[in-house]
């Protein structure tokens, strides 16, 4: 390591140590709405970790999306190596909740430690994993350094690196390049991701595809969504337009554009990306003058007062039900793509046979977006208003929408197999 890199990591570590009180305060503040953030706080610093026999696979999936994607890899590893044990770590409460569902006897779960030298050393000394698997973009300077010192091979799985992130990494190369060089291998989603990862310093990169294609929507959720759709249809013959994984700022755009549409309008389903924003979005909908019903207010079947033509908006304020929402919708808009945020998982919509309207920003899923467009499973619009108009045109053309449904399903099925390829590569380290 050069003196510049050593100095950069020293400065980074010092800032983290000084910022520890702010970090704790932020976790405690987030715990107001998501109590999980206040659970096992000492694990964030490498203390109070669960007991685990050395030699497990340590898999880190920071949040909900990465944990869902990891499910296919976990199953592929269990199929390939029966009896394999996992240490699951996460950074968010939703990720930890989703990760709990992946556990089997012998597995343990913890928070990922804050990236201070002492915390990551304590974590690795206590857990002694055979291999560390980081999902998608999770590269941490002190963690990588500690893993190298303790001879823990580190794999970046389902790896992606956008042009924008690559430029940020270049500006911080003294800090980030040694971390990238400490990876044993990156299993990249696309050839473009692989090229950028090599340029960032990763010594070995393989292109294996995107795990999200391997996720099979739960049949029970698809059936439930179709049941709800039938109920909406029987109550008023209205199509359902979903806007999924919305981010702060997009709902305001959506509601302003929605108010301009002539009646009768479809039933609008809004599914915010982050659960801590559910109440804020509900207030926003009602302040805009729309009649609202919330998914959280019913158990299995929407009540009669949620189905009438006087109801304008459903709020999808639940976790783990995206397959229900996409199966319910006739057409969906992709949240995170109407602001410069890069979009969210568009493959999930395709797997559920839901045609998708995308905004201009899809750099997080650049190749998948282009493939979906080429397959006819999606369309792109320059802004929210244009996307709504295009979605309504799709709804008004049943034959075109039906072809898009079929194209979406075929697109999702055509690119599966990444989980098995990643499991084979990771097994080499066990």
**Catalytic site positions:** 66
Q: 76 and 158 in contact (C-beta within 8 Å)?
A: no
H/E stretch holding 111: strand 108-111
CB 252 within 8 A of CB 284: yes
Euclidean distance between CA atoms 160 and 209, whole angstroms = 10
How many helices (H) does the chain have, and how many strands (E)? 18, 14
Tokens of 164: 């924008």
- Cite the beta strand spans of 224-330 per DSSP E: 240-246, 267-272, 292-294, 313-315
How far apart (Å, rounded) are the C-alpha atoms in residues 386 and 390? 6
285 contacts 60 by C-beta, under 8 angstroms: no
Taking the CB of residue 229, how many other CB atoms lie within 10 A of it?
18
| Gyration radius from the chain CA atoms | 22
Q: Does residue 353 come out as left (phi exceeding 0), alpha (psi in the -120 to 50 range) or beta?
A: left
In whole angstroms, what is the distance from residue 1 CA to residue 138 CA?
21
Q: Contact 242/329 with Cβ under 8 angstroms? A: yes
Q: Is residue 135 within a helix (H) or strand (E), and if so which, with residue range?
A: strand 131-135
Beta strands across the sheet bearing 378-380: 292-294, 313-315, 267-272, 240-246, 331-334, 356-358, 378-380
CB within 8 Å of 420: residues ≥ 6 apart: 76, 80
3-state helix vs strand vs coil in the chain, percent to 5 = 50, 15, 35
């Amino acid at each position: 390591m050069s003196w510049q890199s050593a100095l950069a990591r020293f400065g980074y570590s010092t800032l983290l140590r000084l910022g520890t009180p702010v970090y704790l305060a932020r976790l405690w503040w987030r715990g107001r709405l998501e109590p999980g953030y206040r659970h096992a706080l000492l694990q964030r610093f490498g203390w109070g970790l669960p007991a685990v026999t050395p030699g497990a696979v340590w898999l880190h999936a920071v949040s909900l999306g990465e944990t869902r994607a990891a499910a296919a890899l976990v199953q592929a590893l269990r199929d390939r190596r029966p009896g394999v044990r996992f240490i699951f770590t996460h950074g968010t409460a939703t990720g930890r909740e989703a990760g709990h569902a992946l556990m089997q006897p012998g597995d343990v779960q913890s928070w990922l430690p804050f990236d201070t030298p002492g915390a990551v050393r304590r974590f690795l000394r206590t857990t002694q994993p055979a291999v560390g698997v980081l999902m998608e973009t999770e590269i941490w300077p002190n963690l990588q350094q500690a893993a190298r010192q303790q001879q823990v091979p580190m794999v970046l799985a389902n790896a992606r690196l956008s042009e924008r992130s690559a430029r940020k990494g270049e500006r911080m190369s003294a800090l980030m390049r040694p971390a990238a060089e400490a990876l044993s291998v990156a299993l990249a989603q696309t050839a473009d991701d692989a090229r950028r990862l090599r340029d960032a310093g990763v010594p070995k990169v393989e292109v294996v595809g995107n795990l999200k294609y391997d996720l099979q929507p739960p049949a029970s959720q698809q059936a439930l969504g179709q049941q709800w759709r039938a109920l909406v249809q029987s109550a008023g013959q209205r199509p359902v337009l979903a806007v999924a994984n919305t981010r702060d700022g997009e709902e305001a755009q959506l509601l302003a554009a929605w108010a301009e549409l002539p009646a009768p309008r479809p039933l609008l389903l809004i599914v915010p990306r982050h659960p801590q924003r559910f109440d804020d979005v509900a207030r926003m909908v009602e302040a805009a003058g729309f009649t609202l019903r919330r998914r959280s207010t019913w158990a299995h079947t929407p009540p009669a007062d949620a189905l009438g033509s006087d109801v304008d908006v459903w709020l999808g304020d639940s976790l783990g039900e995206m397959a229900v929402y996409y199966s319910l919708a006739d057409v969906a808009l992709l949240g995170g793509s109407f602001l410069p945020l890069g979009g969210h998982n568009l493959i999930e919509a395709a797997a559920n046979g839901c045609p998708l309207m995308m905004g201009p920003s899809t750099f997080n899923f650049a190749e998948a977006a282009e493939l979906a467009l080429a397959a006819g499973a999606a369309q792109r619009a320059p802004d929210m208003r244009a996307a709504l108009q295009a979605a309504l045109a799709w709804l008004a053309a049943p034959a075109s929408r039906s072809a898009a449904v079929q194209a979406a399903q075929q697109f999702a099925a055509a690119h599966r197999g990444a989980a098995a390829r990643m499991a084979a590569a990771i097994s080499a380290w066990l």
